[in-house]
Structures are given as C-alpha cells and as structure tokens.
Structure 1
Amino acid sequence: MKNFFLSLLLTSFFCSLSAQEFKKKIDSIIQKEFSEINEPGGAFLIAKNGRILYEKAFGKSNLELNVNMTTENVFQIGSMTKQFTAVSILILEKQGKLNINDPISKFVPDYPSGNEITIRHLLTHTSGIKDFTKIKTISDIAQKEMTPKMMVNFFKDEPNDFKPGEKFEYNNSGYVLLGHIIELTSGTTYEDFIQKNIFEKIKMNNSYYASDRKIIKNRAYGYHKKKDGFVNKTIINFSVPFSSGSLMSTLEDMLKWQNALNQNQILDSVNLNKAFEKSKLNNGEEITYGFGWHIKEINGILTREHGGSVFGFKSMAVYIPSKDIYVIGFSNCDCHSPTEITKEIAKLTLQSL
C-alpha cells in the first residue's frame, strides 16, 4: 500500500513538472511577440477535451489608464465573426427558410448576376463579387451608419472579379450579403439573431455585436502603432463590416462556442459538418475552405482555422478535431499578430499531449 501511494505521488509530481515545462514553453512562444508589459498586449487560451490547460494575458488592455490585460477582457474578433454568420445560415437552412444552393436573386431580386451566384458561393468566397474593402470610396462610408441594404448597394454594381465558382478569393462582401439574407429570412436583425440563437443559447454572456458607444465590461481598447508611439484605433462604424467582422468576445466564451459546436448544442452534426468540408471549384479543384473556416493541416493532421483583423485588433484560432485541441489568441493592437504564434502553440500542443 505504501508503494502504491509513493507511486501515485511520484506520478503526480512528474505530471505537475511536465505541465510546468509545457506552460514555460508556451510563455516563451508568446513572448516572442508580446514581451512588453507596458504596451498593448494579448490573451491566449489552450483547451483539450473542452477543458482549459493554459490561459494567460500579456501587456495592457488600456494604455491611458495603465490597466493590465486579463483573460476576461473582451476583444473585437474581426473575421472570426464569419463562423457565426455561416452557422446562422445553416440554422436557417435546417428551419427550411433557405437552401445553401439557392441563388441570391431569390432574396435580393435586383442583384446583378444574382441568378448565377448562390449562397454556397458566398459562404466559400467563390462568388467573384467585389470585396467592398478594396473599393476606393470605402473611406466615404467607413464612419457612417449603414443598413445592410445600403452596404449591399455600395458594392453590388461593381464589376465581378471572376465568374461564380471559378476561383477562391477571400471576400468580405459575400459575408455582408449573408447577413442581409439572414435578416430577410429570419425577420429579425443579424444582431438579435446571433444573440438569441447562439449567445444566449450557450451562455456566451460576454459576447456582443460590437459597439464603441455601449458600456462593455472588461472591454480591451484597440491601438495602432505609429512612428511616435501608440495611438487609439481608427473609428469605424460597425454597420460597415457587419456580419463579416463585427462581433466581440472573450477567450472563454469562444471556448464555449467551440464546445457547443462539438456537442451539437446549436446544430446537429449532419447540418453542421457542411461547414467543415473542403469546397470545390467549377473545375473540380478542391479548396481549403469550408463555410467560415479554413480547412488546413498541421503535420498531416486536419485543422479548422480562422483569424480576424479589424482596426486595433487581431485574432486567431486553431481547432484540431481528432485531438479536441483548441488554441485561440487575441491582440489589442494590429501591430501584434497572434496568427503564427497560435499555429505554433497548436503544433507544440499536438506534439506534447
């Protein structure tokens, strides 16, 4: 019996030692980019089987008030919003309100080439629609309150870059159109649809449709880095990125999202798994994008990845389905990118566990 307890004690000790070494390695990876304690920083989380293995914050969440970053801070997640938009479309498809193979002319009758462009094309960035972020006059509307219809009208008459399904080209306009279609088919606003069908359902209580006006507890403030130092982020009206990049969240809320997807709390696996399948072009060529996620690999092991970038913020998450490993990183300065760091952490975690 004495030997049994000694063995248990030694196992516990070495596991603890191993966990400490793992955390030190993760710290060293992050500190390559987030080493300055008096600059804007970031926050990172690693989970295995839905449970947190590592969670840590770096730098400042507010420079003016000299407030340290915490793991509870709320960040703008940028294009990671596209996951929520894509899943919302699949929810509506399950409800029978649309089909992903429907032409967009069914919802926006006057859209040019609308009979040729499908919801699937929008989801997979294969529509050929002009990305509104590349239109020269974008600065004219960046700070205006825009309705979804006004946003669609802003880019709809631009010439298409290519024929629908001909190639993959990352496209924010397609996801704005998807948000418009969500509103038209659900009879509610995009913000309310996400709130009711996702945030409230899985208790993402610290996630929001972004606002610079609302009082948001634990908000991390966004910054740019200039020659003379840091400045507050450029103001953009969130009705412009809309359903392509206007959500805010925390590390732990995003883990709730990932766990809810795994446990089919939002959609059954038959419908949800459509989002995780690689898409194909007209010529049969496979592309590494599903609906709202890049479908990639680390050392030959399948991953689902997506990042985000919006004025003052950057984000990145990697999920490894076969090992149920989730890694996510946020930054509150667009001068610091968590993208490669998050991928490196995912690789190390995969090798270590």
Structure 2
Amino acid sequence: MKKNTLTFLLLLLQLFASAQKLDRKIDSLLSNVFADKNGPGGAFMVAKAGKPIYQKAFGKANLELNVNMNTSNLFQLGSITKQFTAIAILMLEEKDKLSVSDPISKFIPDYPNGNNITIHQLLNHTSGIKDFTKMKSIAQIAQQNLSPKELVGFFRDEPIDFKPGEKFEYNNSGYAVLGYIIELITQETYENFIQKNIFEKAGMSNSRYANDVAIIQNRAYGYQKKSSQYVNKTKISFSIPYASGALMSTLEDMLKWQNALNQNLFLKSNSVKKAFTKSKLNNGEVVNYGYGWHLLSINNIPTREHGGSIFGFKTMGVYFPNQDIYILGLSNCDCNSPTQVTRDIAKIVIENSKN
C-alpha cells in the first residue's frame, strides 16, 4: 500500500513538473510577443481532453482606462466566424433545407452564373466569386448598415476571378452569400440563428454578434498601431464582415464550441465530418480546406486551423483532432498577430505530450 502511494505521489510530482515546464516555455514565447505591458495584449489558452491546461492574459484590455487584460475578455473573432457559418449550413442540410451540392441559384435565382456555383464551393473557397474585401470600392460601404441582400448586391455583378472549382482562393464573399442563404431559408437574421442554434445550445453565454454601441461586459477594446503610437481601431459597420467575420467570443466559450463539435451537439458525426474533409478541384488537385477550417499539419500531425483579422483584432485557433488538443490565441491589436506564436505553442505542446 505504501509503495503504491509513493509511486502515485512520484507520478503526480512528474506531472506537476512537466506542467510547470510547459507553462514556462509558453510564457517565454508570449512575453516576447507582448513585451509592451502597457500596450494592447492578448489572451491564450491550451486545452487537452476538453479542459484548459494553460490560460493567461497579457497587456491591456483598455489603454485609456489602463485596464489589464484577463482571460475572460471578449474579442472580435474575425474570420473564425466562418466556422459557425459553415456548421449552420450543415445544420440546415441535416434538416433537408438544402444540400451542399445545390447551386446557389436555387436560393438566389438571379445570381449571375448561379447555376454553376454550388454551396460546397462557397464553403471551401473555390467559387471564383470576387472577394469584396479586395475591391477598391469597399471604402464606400465600410461604415454603411447594409442588409445581406445589399451586401451581396455590392459584389454579385463583378466578373468572376476563375471558373467555379478551378482553384482555391480564400474568399469572404462566399461566406456573405452563405449568411444570406441562411436568412432566406430560415426567415430569421443570421445573428439570431447563430445565437439560438449555436451559442445558446452550447452554453456560450459570452458570445455574440459584434456591436460597437451595445454595453458588453468584459469587452477587450480594439487597437491599431500608426507609426509608433496606438490608436483606437477604425470603425466599420458589422453588417459588412457579417457571416464571414462579425462574431465575438472568449477563451472559455471557444472551448465550449470545440467540445460541442466533438460531442456532436449540433450535428450527427457523418454531417460534421464534412467540415473536416478535404475536397478536390476540377483537375483533381486536393484542397487543404474543409468548411470553415484549414486542414493542415504541424510536425506531420493533422490539424484543423483558422485565423481571423478584423480592424483592431487578430485571432488564431489550432486543433489536433487525434490528440484532442486545442490552442487558441486572441489579440486586441492588429499589430500583434497570434498566428505564428499560436502554431509555435502548438509545436511545444505536441512535443511535451510525447514525453
């Protein structure tokens, strides 16, 4: 009995020492990225088997009020929003409201070339539709409150960049169209659909559609760097990023999201698997993107990844499905991209898990 107790205690000590070593390595990386303790910062999390094993915040959530960042702050997610849009589409498919093989003309009859562009191609960025965020005229609408129909109308008549299915090219317009299709089918706003069918279902009580006017508790304020000075982020209307980039969340809620996906809370396993399956172009070339996730690898270990960028915020999430390890980085300045450091943390965590 005593021998078993001693063995158990030694194991606990080893685990504790390993956790401390991991913390020190991650701290060292992040302290370099967020070296300015009085500047904007970020919040980072590592979770294993659905539970956080590392959570820490750096820098300031609000520069003017000198408020420190904490791990409960809300951040704008930018393009991580696409994950939620993709899952919403698959939820509608499971209810026989649509099929990902449907042409978009089925829902938007007068969409140019709509007979040849499928929902699948919108989801995996192979539609060829012009990306409205790359259009010079976007400045004209950036602060306008547009309806989804008006937003889609802004780019729908632009010439296509390539034939549908011919190549992969990351595209925000496709996800704007997807948001519009969700609204046409459900007869409710994208915001309400996501709130009711995803956030509330997963218990994501601190997640929401972004809003610069509403009072939002624990909001991290967004900043940009001009020359050597920080400034408040450029204002935009959130009807513009819409279903491609307008959601907000926290570390805790994003872990609830990841766990809910793993537990098939929203979809049956064969449906959710579509989001994590690579597809092929017309010529047979493999696309390393599912629906709302890049399907890549780190140290030859498969990952599901996505970043986000919107005025004042940058985000990055990496998930190792086979190890059930999730790494998330959220930053409140677009001068501090968490993309590379989040992937660097992922490498450290994977190496540590082997020991």
Q: Which TM class, normalised by the smaller chain length?
A: over 0.9
Instruction: Letter of the 2:14 partner, please give it.
Output: F
Which residues in structure 2 correspond to 1:156-167 (within 5 Å)?
156-167=156-167
Which residues in structure 2 correspond to 1:139-150 (within 5 Å)?
139-150=139-150
Matching residue of 1:216 = 216
Matching residue of 2:295 = 295
In 2, the alpha carbon distance for the partners of 1:45 and 1:14 equals 22
Matching residue of 1:84 = 84
Matching residue of 1:304 = 304
1:8 Cα offset (Å)? 2.5
1:5 Cα offset (Å)? 2.6
Number of aligned positions between the proteins: 353
1:221 Cα offset (Å)? 0.1
SS at match of 1:284: coil
In 2, the alpha carbon distance for the partners of 1:99 and 1:47 equals 34
Which residues in structure 2 correspond to 1:163-178 (within 5 Å)?
163-178=163-178
Matching residue of 1:199 = 199
Residue-by-residue CA offset, 1:84-142 (whole Å, 9 max, x unaligned)? 00000000001111111111111111111010011011001001000001111100100
1:279 Cα offset (Å)? 1.6
Instruction: Letter of the 2:79 partner, please give it.
Output: S
In 2, the alpha carbon distance for the partners of 1:113 and 1:10 equals 66
Instruction: Letter of the 1:13 partner, please give it.
Output: L
Instruction: Letter of the 2:28 partner, please give it.
Output: S
1:6 Cα offset (Å)? 2.8
Matching residue of 1:267 = 267
Q: TM-score, normalization: structure 2?
A: 0.98
In 2, the alpha carbon distance for the partners of 1:192 and 1:249 equals 15
Matching residue of 1:235 = 235
Q: Percent identity, aligned pairs only? A: 63
Matching residue of 2:132 = 132
Moved over 4 A (4+): none
Alpha-carbon RMSD across the aligned residues, in angstroms, is 0.8
SS at match of 1:230: strand
Which residues in structure 2 correspond to 1:80-119 (within 5 Å)?
80-119=80-119
In 2, the alpha carbon distance for the partners of 1:341 and 1:113 equals 41
Instruction: Letter of the 1:200 partner, please give it.
Output: E
In 1, the alpha carbon distance for the partners of 2:76 and 2:242 equals 12
In 2, the alpha carbon distance for the partners of 1:189 and 1:314 equals 26
Residue-by-residue CA offset, 1:301-338 (whole Å, 9 max, x unaligned)? 11100000000000000000000000000000000010
1:3 Cα offset (Å)? 3.3
Which residues in structure 2 correspond to 1:332-343 (within 5 Å)?
332-343=332-343
In 1, the alpha carbon distance for the partners of 2:7 and 2:279 equals 51
Which residues in structure 2 correspond to 1:14-93 (within 5 Å)?
14-93=14-93
> Structure 2 stretches of 5 or more lacking a match?
none
In 2, the alpha carbon distance for the partners of 1:346 and 1:20 equals 16
Matching residue of 2:3 = 3
SS at match of 1:53: strand
In 1, the alpha carbon distance for the partners of 2:66 and 2:80 equals 28
1:348 Cα offset (Å)? 1.1
SS at match of 2:25: helix
SS at match of 1:215: coil
Matching residue of 1:329 = 329
Instruction: Letter of the 1:67 partner, please give it.
Output: V
